[in-house]
Amino acid sequence: MPVLRNEIGDVLRDARLTQGKTLRDISSGARVSLGYLSEVERGQKEASSELLASICDALEMPMSTILREVSDRFEAAETLETVPMMPSIPDTVPELLSSMRSR
């Protein structure tokens, strides 16, 4: 299962890079230190809702767009977790025979 702060950080970084902006551009626009913004993007710090709103303003993106992308990533991860695993196939004949005897 993904970690929320990591997914938020990845989505923020992707949005910033897509716009061709630097950490410095966003940190000054959001009025947050460059180091702290870097830690948020790397998933090392959790962004408060107020900080996330400031970062979204600096990116000129609605917070709903960022959160929707995060939600989509969680949905994709959850879908992968619910895919049934294939049953194991014995490597050798003795394993196959022993599994048949125990039935």
DSSP summary character for residue 20: T
Closest Cα to residue 7, out of 54, 58, 75?
A: 75
Q: Please, is 30 exposed, middle or buried when counting C-beta atoms within 10 Å of its C-beta (0-12, 13-18, 19+)?
A: buried
- Measure the CA angle with vertex 98, ends 95 and 103; round to 5°: 130
User: Residue 92's pLDDT band (boundaries 50, 70, 90)?
Assistant: low
Average pLDDT over the chain, rounded to whole? 88
List pLDDT tens digits, range 32-63. 999 999 999 999 999 999 999 999 999 999 99
Domain spanning 4-81: CATH 3.90.1310.10: no
Instruction: Give the residue extent of every domain in the chain.
Output: 4-81
Mean pLDDT of 70-97: 72
Query: Mean pLDDT, to the nearest integer, of 53-78?
Result: 96
Question: Is the pLDDT reported for residue 73 higher than 60?
Answer: yes
**pTM higher than 0.85, yes or no?**
no
CA separation, residue 22 to residues 13, 16, 25, 52, 82 (Å): 10, 7, 5, 17, 38
